[in-house]
Structure 1
Amino acid sequence: MLDGSLDDRAALLNDRYKHHAATEVLRRALNDPDLGRVTLVSSFGSESVVLLHMVSFVAPGTPVLFIDTQMLFPETLDYQLEVSEKLKLTNVQVVRALDSEVALNDPDGTLHQFSTDSCCDLRKTIPLERELGKFDAWITGRKRFQGGERQELQFFEAEPPARLRINPLAHWRKEDVQDYMAENNLPRHPLVAKGYASIGCAPCTSPVKPGEDPRAGRWRGSQKTECGIHFIGGKMVRAGANS
């Protein structure tokens, strides 16, 4: 792999791929020895099917990490199976907290009621980090139009201490996402039709009203906006719709 700091490696890769479209960034990144072992992390949420579809014809054997918090909507679990089968994804790996961790920290399943951060840490952040430790880079669906710190998002970025993130859709507009799903006749998450614009765990997700931010239905009534897998060194690096 490339020598130098993570930031230097990200800068070199961004220069290498700056004129490529999303599909080519993904295709080449999955075969670039300078990136090492790569995985896609997917929530199988409202927009996830775009990257899953791209992976399915570029490299269907790519490891896809799906975090099952054991508090997801039944519709999400059904959708995950439907999409995986339809797209013939052959290496979807379900990531969960260990039974012993749940038994110790949330034996009655009520942790989310008084500490959503602790619940997300237990059921999302820790299990995902355990699996991501096996990889050198991971693919995300982050996009510039989602605002916040994403407005200057590049295809590649550093995730200290030792990983890179790949954002093939960084330059896409919201219309591009919808057009891609329509043109490829991709299945939509069933909760989208019921007003859910950003879909997480059932106890902490609600429909959004017309004109509301797409993530207004996540942890409604609290200041919380992210689950924790979108932080680097305690700093939020993802914000916006359907992270």
Structure 2
Amino acid sequence: MLDQSLDDRAGRLNDRYRHHAATEVLRRAVSDPDLGRVALVSSFGAESVVLLHMVSVVAPGLPVLFIDTQMLFPETLEYQREVSARLGLTNVQLIGATRQEVARHDPDGTLHQFNQDACCDFRKTVPLERALSQYDAWITGRKRFQGGQRQQLEFFEPEPPHRLRVNPLAFWRSEDVQEYMIENNLPRHPLVAQGYPSIGCAPCTSPVKPGEDPRAGRWRGSDKTECGIHFIGGRMVRGKVSA
């Protein structure tokens, strides 16, 4: 089944699951032959626990890839350990840049101060691409309500040259996320209560004021809105993507 074009596969999957709820999309996706080998990529950020909980229910052994950029908040690292243990996730894999890559690209840890894209590339995009080379599809927590390039998200989308992305929460509202957390008594990331509705690396994440966009605290003061792992092949994509 995987020899057909990415666009065809994504289109067929979207047609198949168009009227399914998020949990059912996830449940069926992890074993659908049109997807092949699947992993969840999680930042263990402000809303990550929703998908992590769903995975713990339907496929607790699913590979969960967690990118340790070596610049995360200490609270994120502790939250990752807490959530993984509490939910019984048995296959969480920490990935990141090698010591050699850090020594070559950012030996003094200041690259983010003058080239954020380059910092994100070697700390996030390259390690993730390396890990995802073993998979045919990956699951994300992106949602339409987050705005920007995410406003037209579908459940399934092509990622040339050979992968698909799965967005089970694409059509959820912000209220749906909060209700799910409350109904399932899920632990919150400790920084949310301190004004961080979207959490990335510590040097490039700031609190958000009331009324601001939830992602306003990411790379504040720059035009940057994505770290790069949600671009196609690590690059910004404009217009239709073809296989």
TM tier, smaller: over 0.9
- Counterpart position of 1:221: 221
Where does structure 1 differ by over 3 angstroms across 4 or more consecutive aligned residues?
none
- Equivalent runs, 1:102-117 vs 2, <5 Å: 102-117=102-117
- Equivalent runs, 1:118-133 vs 2, <5 Å: 118-133=118-133
- Counterpart position of 2:203: 203
Pair 1:192-2:196 in alignment: no
Which stretch of the first structure deviates more once superposed, 81-90 or 29-38? Answer: 29-38
SS in 1 for 2:138: strand
Asked if the contact 1:230–1:236 (Cα under 8 Å) also holds between the matched residues in 2, the reply is no
Distance 1:229 1:139 in 2: 12
State the number of aligned residues.
237
SS in 2 for 1:32: coil
TM-score relative to the length of structure 1: 0.95
Amino acid at match of 1:204: C
CA shift, 1:3, in A, is 4.2
Structure 1's 157 and 195: CA in aligned 2 closer, same or farther, altered over 3 A?
same
SS in 1 for 2:185: coil
- Counterpart position of 2:30: 30
Deviations 1:184-243 (A, max 9, x none): 000000000000111011111110100011111111111111111111152258xxxxxx
Distance 2:169 2:9 in 1: 19
SS in 2 for 1:152: coil
Deviations 1:161-186 (A, max 9, x none): 00001111111111100000000000
- Counterpart position of 2:241: none
Asked if the contact 1:96–1:127 (Cα under 8 Å) also holds between the matched residues in 2, the reply is yes
Deviations 1:84-114 (A, max 9, x none): 0000000000011011010111111111111
TM-score relative to the length of structure 2: 0.95
Amino acid at match of 1:235: M
Runs of 5+ in structure 2 lacking a partner? 239-243
RMSD of equivalent CA atoms:
1.2
Which stretch of the first structure deviates more once superposed, 217-226 or 89-98? Answer: 217-226
Distance 1:87 1:181 in 2: 13
Asked if the contact 1:41–1:139 (Cα under 8 Å) also holds between the matched residues in 2, the reply is yes
- Counterpart position of 1:91: 91
Asked if the contact 2:2–2:36 (Cα under 8 Å) also holds between the matched residues in 1, the reply is no
- Counterpart position of 1:39: 39
Structure 1's 183 and 219: CA in aligned 2 closer, same or farther, altered over 3 A?
same
- Counterpart position of 2:55: 55
Deviations 1:145-165 (A, max 9, x none): 222333332111100000001
- Counterpart position of 1:9: 9
SS in 1 for 2:119: helix
Runs of 5+ in structure 1 lacking a partner? 238-243
